[in-house]
Amino acid sequence: MSDHASNGKGSVPLDVLVRGGRVIDPALGRDIIADVGIAGDRIVAVGPNLRPQETTTVIDATGLVVCPGLVDLHTHVYEYVTNFGVAVDDAGVNAGVTTAVDMGSVGTWLFPGLKGYVIDTAKTDVVAFLMMGYIGAVQGQRGGPPLLSPDWADAESLAKWHGDYPELIRGFKTWGESGSTSQWGWRFLDMGRKAADLTGLPLYIHTGELYPVDETNRPDPNTIMPEVLERARPGDVLGHCYSARDDGILGPAERPSPELVKAVDDGLRLDIGHGLNFSFDTARRMLDAGVPPYTISSDTHGSFVACDDAVCSWSLVGTMSKLVTLGMSLSDVIACATWHPAIVLDKLDEIGTLREGSRADVTLLEVRRDDWEYLDGLGASLESDQRLVPTLVLRDGKPITPTGRLLRDVLTPEERGEDSELIAVGGRPR
């Protein structure tokens, strides 16, 4: 690489130069001290000693990790319409995330609202996996029943929306868990399979008990995953892979089943989807068995009974920090939050990498070295000596300083400019 930005035809004027950071780009196998040059909304050069022009905005990244913009594969950002939706840019650019996937908040009827009021207005890049159902994950406020029935859903209408908006709809969300199965059998999972097959898109399957169980028809938890694996295909994603639920991917077993291991080896992908049920104990058993996640995501959401995000004390960078503390390498963790979700979304030509010509979505992370205690969904603690904190993102080449408002697992209230105490699943100084 020469000492000036070049696209192979000569010098390229730089609008932004991110200088001197540790560039980690797992998609290209890069882990180097280098500069990143940006012109307009494109990455145009990565290498040492890139030469700025007088008009170039120079960002000093010395001592920071510079990686592709983080991609959160599992968020819920249809605020106010779904009672558990959070503000899109609080879950997105203000949390260090440049691309957020709304994972199944809406179905056929409500997608236009998600597009008009969230996707089209957010600073964050937002795409969607549609949920099985005409309405989606909508329920009455303050604890009303979910408006959900397989009679109010069909695969064809879901597939049609992808035909109309192929860049925005990147997959479908369904369930393989005790609650939905006790009420409706495997109709929702089979419908998701059909929608995915009609479009060639991946299917994201929620695992671990979620919906209210019909106790007169509660399935044996050991029967759930075999049925899920029978219907899943390579390229599909099993969500909540380190859940504590008995009917989840691991359940109470010490090691994952040979059938699961084979399915993963054949291309089935596992996603963290932290949320309320992430378990350090499950994570250790899966990692000890050599079954890491393919993607790391947050499942950022608010209260299920009110429009309130105060319960959300977990984030993508917090989940990444926990996985580093549990023994995954920083490069592997970044791969799970950049390169791999971009593959799931089939958008690696645009995001998930700092390859020259890709979109200029970049996240700068500070690895803060101090004593910190993380909490999982069960309240178990994990002592650590580091936390990953986003200090800047570039979205389409434009610098944005994250507010960190929802980073309750890696920032103290004072660091977020708040007086409130940490609650629910989060982290705290030791």
Residues 164-198 have pLDDT tens digits of 999 999 999 999 999 999 999 999 999 999 999 99
Beta-carbon neighbour count of residue 56 at 10 Å? 19
CATH of span 70-344 = 3.20.20.140
Taking the CA atoms of 291, 273, 416 and 421 in sequence, report the sign of the dihedral they define: negative
Distances in Å between the alpha carbon of 131 and those of 174, 191, 221, 232? 6, 10, 23, 16
For residue range 41-54, list pLDDT tens digits in order.
999 999 999 999 99
Has residue 284 got a pLDDT over 50?
A: yes
Has residue 421 got a pLDDT over 90?
A: no
Helix, strand, coil shares, percent, the chain, to 5: 25, 25, 50
Residue 147 is predicted with a pLDDT of: 72
Average pLDDT over residues 196-222: 96
Choose among 271, 248, 279: nearest CA to 379: 279
Residue pair 33/23 in contact (Cβ under 8 Å)? The answer is yes
Distances in Å between the alpha carbon of 37 and those of 6, 147, 260, 352? 9, 49, 43, 16
Residue 180 is predicted with a pLDDT of: 94
